[in-house]
Chain A
Amino acid sequence: MTSASFTKSTSPVAGNLTMGGVLRSEWTKFRSVRSTWWLLSMTVILLVGLGVIVVVLEVNTGAPKQQPPYQVAQQIEFGALITQLVLGVLGILMFTGEYGSGMIRISVSVVPRRLMLLWAKLSVLCVVVLPLTLVSSVVAFMLGEFAWQSHRGLKPVGFGDPQVTRIVIGSALVVAVTAVCGFGMGAIIRSTAGSIGALVGIFFVLPLVAQAALPRGVAGLARFLPSNAGDALWGGTIGPRSMTPWSGFALLCGYAVALVAVAAWRLRRGDA
Chain B
Amino acid sequence: MIEVENLTKRYGDKVAVDGLTFSVAPGVVTGFLGPNGAGKSTTLRMIAALDVPTSGRVRVNGRDYRSSPAPMAELGLLLEAKAVHPGRSARDHLLAIGQTAGIGKARVNEVIEMVGLGDVARKRVGGFSLGMGQRVGIAVALLGRPRTVVMDEPVNGLDPEGVRWIRALLRTLADEGCTVFYSSHLMSEMAQTATNLIVIGRGRLIACSTVEQFIAKTTATSVVVRSPEAARLRGLLGRADVRIAPDGPDLLRIDGITPEEVGTIASQAGVPVFDLRVERASLEEAFMQATHDSVEYGATGLENL
Contact = CB atoms under 8 A, between A and B. Distances in A.
A101 B144 CA distance: 22
Contacts of A6: 114, 142, 169, 172-173, 176
A109 B115 contact: no
B50 A21 contact: no
Interface size class, chain B: 35 or more
Interface in B154-182: 165, 168-169, 172-173, 176
B27 interface: no
Interface string A3-18: 1011100111111111
A1 B49 CA distance: 31
Interface string A235-272: 00000000000000000000000000000000001111
B211 interface: no
A16 B93 CA distance: 19
Interface stretch (B80-88, B199-207, B273-281): B80-88
Given A1-B114, A5-B114, A105-B83, A28 B103 contact: no
A13 B84 CA distance: 22
B223 interface: no
Given A1-B165, A3-B172, A109-B77, A272 B50 contact: yes
Contact of B95 (A13, A28, A103): A28
A207 interface: no
B68 A21 contact: no
Contacts of A24: 99
Contact of A17 (B70, B82, B114): B70
Nearest to B50: A272
Interface stretch (A70-78, A110-118, A132-140, A196-204): A110-118
A1 B71 contact: no
A110 B78 CA distance: 12
A35 B88 CA distance: 10
Nearest to A32: B92
A5 B71 contact: no
B165 A3 contact: yes
B49 A112 contact: yes
A21 B101 contact: yes
B85 A97 contact: yes
B145 interface: yes
B122 to A, nearest CB: 11
Closest 8 CB pairs of A and B: A14-B144, A1-B116, A102-B83, A14-B72, A15-B102, A32-B92, A14-B73, A28-B96
22 contacts: A6-B114, A7-B172, A10-B145, A15-B73, A15-B102, A15-B103, A17-B69, A21-B101, A21-B102, A25-B97, A29-B92, A32-B93, A34-B87, A102-B83, A106-B97, A106-B140, A107-B97, A108-B50, A112-B68, A113-B66, A271-B51, A271-B52
Given A101-B86, A103-B93, A112-B49, 16 more contacts: A1-B115, A6-B169, A6-B176, A13-B145, A14-B98, A14-B102, A17-B71, A21-B101, A25-B98, A98-B85, A101-B84, A102-B82, A103-B83, A103-B84, A106-B79, A107-B97
